[in-house]
Structures are given as structure tokens and as C-alpha cells.
Structure 1
């Protein structure tokens, strides 16, 4: 008896009670919003996207404490034409687990994450490093689908989503 080969046709992806929907809108910025500086508190994030998969290893470091959080995540859009709603599942890793997964080929993205409030909502702002240096994105999350259309434009940053 041979070993069964897994394919997209014979692999079932059941709904997961551990996955959750993320509703987000992103905005392209020219720089950090007014009142925010590179010296402000931020987190250093390294995302390693495992080649050919929907999986990533995220390492988050707080420069103030030099403490790390490492997550193994699967994140994907249910509808490839709508990235405002994604499904995400996270598993937190210890140092040994993170090291074991680091052997896989991955594409790396590094960024610093800051926060600011606008119109009663908390935004994260990512300043990308390395090959994406100069790219600045703001992101805001929503609890319901009905809230998503609210902010198509971010006047504080002078940009559109």
C-alpha cells in the first residue's frame, strides 16, 4: 500500500473554531502622521512568509524591554478580490519551536510599528525596512462588516485606502 499524495483536490479545509475574521482597512502614507516620530515607542516586527504557503512566522520585539513574542500564523483572504476581510489563526511559539521552523525557506519583511488615534479609532502605522524602505502603511481594524465602508479616506494622513 502506497502513501497518499495530498493535493488541492483531495484536501479539505474545514472551518476552524480557532480561526477568526480580521476586518481591516489600510492606507498608504508618505510618512509618519503628524505628532508621531521615529523615536516614539514602537515594536520591531520581522515577518517570514514560508515560500509557497499561506503561513508566516512573526517575531515581535519590544526595544524597551528586549522581550520577544513569536507567532506561527496562517492568514488568507476568503475572497481574493477583497483583502479587507481575512481569516487568521495564530499559535504562539517558544524559542525552540521558532528555531525549528526557521529552517524553511521564507521571504522576510521587516518593519517598525507605531500607533496613533484618529477620529476615535486606534491605528497602527508600519514603517518598512530593508527592500521596502520608504513604504509606510496605516491600518485600522473593525469589529463588524458594516463598519468597513466607514473610512475609505484618512484625512489626517492625506491618503486613500
Structure 2
């Protein structure tokens, strides 16, 4: 299994937890087990944010994606923009403009999540590589501990005596 996919799956899971979504399981191999994130079908913005966060984490940790993957990403952008347009009302130009605005917001949010929780995504990817699947409770624990670590790093006076190991 390519490490790039591990980073993508880990990035999506970390973003889902950060957005308050329920992660049941994350899988390193979609043929053996599926990644299960509870997400409303109507919540296109959250779906786009998860996808963009996964690709951003993949890009930061694995480098450049394969040409085939980049082509598929371009196609996915078109599909997601179309889905966002369908949720809007009014003339076509107005719907397109609003869809682009929402997509840009999702992209900004995905980049912020990636910057903030990149270390958590790395930890989840390492566990995925070792075990093949990871439960949602592990992802939640890793994200929680990373947020604590970030807070204490930025404000040493607020440091809690929490160990920064997710397996604790």
C-alpha cells in the first residue's frame, strides 16, 4: 500500500474529528475494509473539506501525487463544484460564484486543519501502516492530545500534566 494513501486517509479522519464528525474506522486498504466516517449526504461543504484536507496532508507528507491521481483530483473538483452549484438558487452565474466561494472557504479550512493537526495525521498514518485499520476512538484521542500539545506549546502556563502519547 502506498504511503500517500495512508496520509490521505489519516488526513480525512483527523479533519472529520476536528469538524465534530463521527469516525467509526479508518482503513489503509479500501479493498479489505472501508473507512467509515458518518457524514450527511447533504453536507457538501464538509465532504469537500474532508477531501481537501486529505489531499493537503498527502501533499505535505508524501510530496507530489501521481499524474493519474492529479487528473482524478481535477475531475473531482469539477464534480464537487457542480454539487455545490446544485445546492444554490438563482441564475447560473450567481450559483457558480457562490459555489466557488464555498469551495474556497473549504480549501482555506482544509489548509488550516492540515497546518494545525499535521502531527496527528502522521501518528494516525503510522498506526494505519502498522495495523491496517484504526478505530475512530484512537483518532479522537490523537486529535485531542495534539490539540492539548498545541495549546501548551503556545501557552506554557496552561500546560496540563497530560502525556502526549495516544496509546496511553
- Measured against the shorter chain, the TM-score band is under 0.3
Question: Whose strand proportion is higher, 1 or 2?
Answer: 1
Q: Which has the larger radius of gyration?
A: 1
Question: Whose helix proportion is higher, 1 or 2?
Answer: 2
